[in-house]
A = this chain, B = another copy of it.
């Protein structure tokens, strides 16, 4: 049975975090869908065909679809991913349908991945205190309500959090391993040709 992942994207999403996660999951055989979350003041809200998302460093990415809460439920996907990038993470984490989905995914034992400022969604979704990491720039907002860690990737039940572009490869490999096992992880890492001892 093919595993399915939904990756959210917004204007200001960190394009490396988005791309590394999406591409790595596809390499593992996961069926990946990206869904555009409009900002609250986005005049395009309601379009059925998504506009492009303008990444945090100016790369324009065409999402696969427009975010629609009823098409994003945990019966349809095994994994929900929230990438970082300050403005993108703010848009995504402040969406109440996204907050609701984060809670439902975790309640139903499905995986939720958050990287960088994307970890703010753990706070806005009102998750119970648990181990978590994030980009250092948002540590101050999270350390009171969570067991804040500085590990590159933190797995807490089915919540997987990570720190930034520099930890997104191990974040994505951890998601592959949780969904499909250690062998699949090794199969995906090999052809990417990491320098010796990197992410080993």
Residues of A at the B interface (CB closer than 8 Å) are 14-16, 19-20, 22-24, 26-27, 32, 34, 52, 55-62, 135-137, 152, 163-167, 169-170, 189, 191-195, 198-199
- B32, B57, B166: the one contacting A169 at CB < 8 Å is B166
Of A59, A62, A136, A194, most B-chain CB atoms within 10 Å: A59
B contact residues around A166 at 8 Å (CB) = 169, 189, 192-195, 198-199
CA distance A162 to B22 in the complex (A): 22
B170 touches A57 (CB 8 A): no
Give chain B residues whose Cβ lies under 8 Å from the Cβ of A24: 16
Task: Please tell me if the beta carbons of B61 and A193 are within 8 angstroms of each other in the complex.
Answer: no
Task: Please state the number of chain copies in the assembly.
Answer: 2
Q: Which residues of B contact A165 (CB under 8 A)?
A: 20, 23, 192-193
Q: Contact: A59 with B19, CB < 8 Å?
A: yes
Residue in B32, B58, B152, B191 whose CB lies within 8 Å of A58? B32
Taking the nearest CB of chain B, how far is it from the CB of A138, in angstroms? 12
- B residues in contact with A199, CB < 8 Å: 166, 195, 198
Determine which residue in A20, A34, A62, A195 has the highest number of CB atoms from chain B within 10 A of its CB, and name it.
A195
A197–B57 CA distance with the chains assembled, in angstroms:
26
State whether A23 touches B27 (Cβ < 8 A). Answer: no
**Residue of B with least CB distance to A164:** B193
Bound-state CA distance A20–B199 (Å) is 17
In chain B, what residue has the closest Cβ to A116? Answer: B193
Besides A60-B62, A166-B199, 9 other A-B contacts (C-beta < 8 A): A15-B22, A15-B23, A16-B20, A22-B57, A22-B58, A26-B57, A62-B62, A163-B193, A198-B199
